[in-house]
Structure 1
Amino acid sequence: MTFSLTNFSIHDFLSQHWQKKPAVFRHVFSPFVDPLDENDLAGIAMEEEADSRMVIQDAHGWHVEHGPFTETDFGELCRDKWTLLVQGVDKYLPDADALMEAFNFIPYWRMDDLMVSFASPGGGVGPHLDQYDVFLVQGKGKRRWQVGKPGEHIAQYPHPDLKQIQPFAAVMDVVLAPGDMLYIPPNWPHNGVAVDECMTYSVGFRAPDQAQIVQSLPEIFATASDTAIRYTDPALTAQSHPSLVSSTALLTLKSLLMDVLNGDQWQQAMLRLLSDQQLPESFPATLYQPETLNNALKAGAIFQRVPGCRPLFTPTNNSSIFTFFVNGELFTASRACESSVLAILSGEWVTSECISKCENKFALLEIVSTLINKGYWELHE
């Protein structure tokens, strides 16, 4: 299954709407075919590792239950106005991952995941704010969305696990039908209510804050603490008070930190952090060697990225080595393999023909076999 945006200008969207203002796009997926149904979604919500929850609104107020769920749970919880929400569905279903790929005009490192929700009539999670950009793609059924302006919105908690905001004045009030899409920038209040039974696909993005960026620093010295440069002060002179930390000392300490941030080690640590997607573990039954992989490909086997896998790379000055990152891990390849590796990273299937185009076929087979054995690429069924 593939998804392509229609009636949609990437240039106009990025220049006029991205992180600027919300917008409705009609029939951008026409016709839209749901990559899963509510039964599939419930099945994922029953998995131990899945991040799922149900939000119920009844005469007594709001209620939140967290998965994993059982069939008995669904029988008891699917009452009144309810919504089942599952995060990271793109990591479980190739067709859901294909929907995310329709938005790859936004860099992979800015992508978060695909949250899918199924709601009964009147179901929703209440008025709220998100700190990230989101595309809301309507699947089966219809949902009404109201969007307000950014501002000082007062938070409220009708349930300890449900953060909402007080009702807001809507500047946009629309009903989405299958194949329609609503884009909402960060901090624009919104509220979605199911008109009838409906599926909604939330393509979420991420923007690391300063606290998250700082998390990359320990990684720099995790494996090589002897590379850390220690503070020295050979020009120290007597000072007026023993408690004083001089501005000169603080500037020197700051410069030590800046030297780290300006080095290649920080760049690698940052890319490890940005590429770490916490992908589900999925290893092949039999590990591949370059020779056995080559034989499998010649016999017609095809390999592809596992669902939800979004590799990263950044340009470097190294003329002989190409470096890329998958799920927090660093990989290297010869520059002779760079164009082939880039094609594979972008989602091109690994086939015998793909390997034959590379100048150094054995080196490419080594890279691909490693990625398969790590569980980041898999046999295409």
Structure 2
Amino acid sequence: MTFSPSQFLSQHWQKSPVVLRRFFTDFEDPIDEHDLAGLAQEEDVDSRIIAYADNQWHVTHGPIASFDEACQGQWTLLVQAVDRYIPEVSELMAAFDFIPYWRMDDVMISFANPGAGVGPHEDQYDVFLIQGKGSRQWRVGEPGQYTEHFPHPNLRQLQTFPTWKTFTLYPGDVLYIPPGWPHDGIAESDCLTYSIGFRAPDTALLAQQLAEGLIGGELTGERYSDPELATRSHPAMVNQSEITALKQLLLSQLSSTEFDQNLMRFLSDQQLPYNLPDSLLTTEELCHELEDGATYVLASGCHPIYPQRQPADHFLFYVNGEQFTASYNDRESVECLLKGDPVDAAWMRTLSTLAFMDIMTILINKGYWERMDT
């Protein structure tokens, strides 16, 4: 049966788990456990090993110095944001581009030996679990009030939960789990699992963006005033009109164009690895390269975004927390660029002028787009 994004969104997204059998036909792992272990030895890569041995849980954080020491009993190696380092892993995200880029977080990859898992737990975000080599059994429960415990200071689990359904995943299968649905996966053999996670900012994070915008001067802060102040029956009393006026100060900032832009910068910020090209380009050099047959593509894990509501005379978009401006006449070409179309001579000729090539040069020099190997 052909996968229908609209049917999936209406029936399952944030509603109920579902297994998508053979979502990837003839699936081939873009990475193996040896490559994953190599990443786990890097200083800037977030990794850990969770092991269960001698009736105890153990957690070793990367960079991993000794796998022999950490990989005892039943163990799982987990590496975050592998899509930002391996282009072939980043390409897995394209299968889920029916979900907005700003919601996409990263691809975490785990390798587990038989019988291993990280324990029963629940996540507060949506996740697609792609099965690579091997097989894994997943036990899934329904949302509820479950008791958490910490068998290790760095490991949060659920004590138990009743089983709703059990699924066994094989290469190319995908299990979708909405937020708040408890689950527990156990490897049946040596296996790789690719976890496509999604961002869901809470009110604390959004309030932090407002506060940082005001403190940093990106937003124009107003001060409370009361020129019509009148006497009242008691000096300790705060009038409801004053409470309303104070809240309105915040609401006026939330409704401002400046906060919209601040929010877009936040939603686009992926904290991509610092990956400058070996040599910086000039705009003239870039144009010559494209005419000579060069092609540039989005860097691994990079997901640019733009707001639906745009100014009348230009087009705004955001990459990794930065705002960029294009001519409104180039909107169609830039939208193709942001979706992942390659930057080549044919694309360049769709621009109304070559003015945007100055911005394209900056994007490449920042490492957000990279030259495709020929």
Q: Same fold (TM over 0.5)?
A: yes
1:367 correspondence with 2:362: no
Q: 1:67 aligns with which of 26, 44, 62?
A: 62
1:154 correspondence with 2:147: yes
Q: Which amino acid in the other structure matches residue 343 of structure 2?
A: V
Matches within 5 A, 1:280-291: 280-291=273-284
1:131 Cα offset (Å): 0.4
Q: Which amino acid in the other structure matches residue 282 of structure 1?
A: N
2: distance between equivalents of 1:380 and 1:219?
A: 38
Aligned to 1:25: 20
2: distance between equivalents of 1:31 and 1:37?
A: 16
1:219 Cα offset (Å): 4.2
Aligned to 2:49: 54
Cα contact 1:219–1:269 (8 A) shared by 2: no
Cα 1:359–1:225, aligned 2, differ >3 Å: closer, same or farther?
A: closer
1: distance between equivalents of 2:14 and 2:219?
A: 42
Cα 1:272–1:49, aligned 2, differ >3 Å: closer, same or farther?
A: same
Aligned to 2:231: 238
Matches within 5 A, 1:308-319: 308-319=301-312
Aligned to 1:3: none
1: distance between equivalents of 2:191 and 2:177?
A: 19
1:249 correspondence with 2:242: yes
2: distance between equivalents of 1:317 and 1:77?
A: 52
Aligned to 1:132: 125
Cα contact 1:355–1:364 (8 A) shared by 2: no
Unaligned runs of 5+ in 2: none
TM-score, length-normalised on structure 2? 0.97
Aligned to 1:377: 369
Cα contact 1:322–1:333 (8 A) shared by 2: yes
2: distance between equivalents of 1:187 and 1:346?
A: 31
Matches within 5 A, 1:1-381: 7-70=2-65, 73-221=66-214, 224=217, 227-360=220-353, 362-381=354-373
Q: Which amino acid in the other structure matches residue 14 of structure 2?
A: Q
What is the SS of the residue equivalent to 1:227? coil
Q: Which amino acid in the other structure matches residue 55 of structure 2?
A: H
1:220 Cα offset (Å): 3.1
1: distance between equivalents of 2:251 and 2:235?
A: 27
Q: Which amino acid in the other structure matches residue 26 of structure 2?
A: P
Q: Which amino acid in the other structure matches residue 115 of structure 1?
A: M
What is the SS of the residue equivalent to 1:313? coil
Unaligned runs of 5+ in 1: 1-5
2: distance between equivalents of 1:14 and 1:60?
A: 41
1: distance between equivalents of 2:101 and 2:215?
A: 26
2: distance between equivalents of 1:317 and 1:201?
A: 36
What is the SS of the residue equivalent to 1:274? helix
Number of matched pairs: 373
Cα contact 1:313–1:324 (8 A) shared by 2: yes
2: distance between equivalents of 1:186 and 1:298?
A: 48
What is the SS of the residue equivalent to 2:108? strand
Cα 1:7–1:78, aligned 2, differ >3 Å: closer, same or farther?
A: farther
Cα contact 1:93–1:307 (8 A) shared by 2: yes
Aligned CA-pair RMSD = 1.4
CA offset digits 1:157-209 (Å, max 9, x no partner): 11111100012221111111101111111111100000000000011112111
Q: Which amino acid in the other structure matches residue 150 of structure 1?
A: P
1: distance between equivalents of 2:145 and 2:168?
A: 26
Cα contact 2:51–2:57 (8 A) shared by 1: yes
Seq. identity, % = 49
2: distance between equivalents of 1:286 and 1:219?
A: 34
2: distance between equivalents of 1:28 and 1:356?
A: 37
TM-score, length-normalised on structure 1? 0.95
CA offset digits 1:144-167 (Å, max 9, x no partner): 000011101110111111100012
1:309 Cα offset (Å): 0.6
Cα contact 1:23–1:183 (8 A) shared by 2: yes
Cα contact 1:110–1:205 (8 A) shared by 2: yes
CA offset digits 1:311-348 (Å, max 9, x no partner): 11112342211001111111111011111111111111
1: distance between equivalents of 2:303 and 2:249?
A: 33
What is the SS of the residue equivalent to 1:75? helix
Q: Which amino acid in the other structure matches residue 312 of structure 1?
A: I
After the TM superposition, which segments of 4 or more aligned residues of structure 1 sit over 4 Å from their partners?
none
Cα 1:132–1:260, aligned 2, differ >3 Å: closer, same or farther?
A: same
CA offset digits 1:340-375 (Å, max 9, x no partner): 111111111110111011111x21211110101122
What is the SS of the residue equivalent to 2:69? helix
